[in-house]
């Protein structure tokens, strides 16, 4: 099994949740949210490249031959960047979905504590 096959399910789930979140978001906030996610992605990918390269060069971990695509950024295989991409998609999407659910449930409460 290759590292790419391990990463694909995480990327798919993250992308699906991100799309669901985007569709539930008000149209006016989508562009701002996309820009924030893009900036976070650039920062996270740069940090991943630097710190993975440092950790690999220090011998903290390595990769078996034949289990990766071969392309690297620094010393980090490109598959290593799937997890930060999944995280940068998934975390804001879940945050948005949970926040919208909380806002929706607050509006349905009555003053006596029962829900309508």
What range does the domain containing 78 cover?
31-98
pTM for this prediction: 0.76
Does residue 20 lie in a domain region? no
Q: Which two tokens stand for residue 71?
A: 């392309």
Tell me which residue of 44, 60, 54, 103 sits closest to 74, measured CA to CA: 54
Does residue 55 lie in a domain region? yes
Does residue 1 lie in a domain region? no
Strand partners of residue 72: 77
| pLDDT for the residue 106 | 62
pLDDT in tens, 59-87: 998 887 778 877 889 888 989 999 999 99
As to burial, measured by CB atoms within 10 angstroms (0-12 exposed, 13-18 middle, 19+ buried), residue 18 is: buried
Report H helices in the chain. Answer: 3-24, 27-57, 82-106
As a whole number of angstroms, the distance between CA 13 and CA 90 comes to 8
- Number of folded domains in the chain? 1
Question: Are 69 and 2 contacting, i.e. CB atoms less than 8 angstroms apart?
Answer: yes
Does residue 86 lie in a domain region? yes
pLDDT in tens, 28-39: 888 888 899 999
């Amino acid at each position: 099994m290759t590292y790419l096959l391990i990463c694909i399910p995480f990327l798919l789930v993250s992308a699906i949740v991100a799309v669901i979140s985007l569709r539930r978001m008000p149209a006016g906030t989508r562009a701002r949210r996309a820009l924030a996610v893009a900036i976070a992605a650039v920062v996270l990918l740069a940090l991943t490249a630097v710190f993975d390269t440092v950790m690999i060069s220090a011998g903290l971990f390595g990769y078996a031959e034949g289990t990766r695509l071969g392309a690297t950024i620094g010393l980090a295989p490109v598959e290593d960047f799937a997890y930060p991409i999944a995280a940068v998609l998934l975390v804001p999407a879940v945050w948005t979905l949970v926040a919208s659910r909380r806002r929706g449930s607050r509006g349905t409460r009555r003053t006596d504590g029962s829900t309508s």
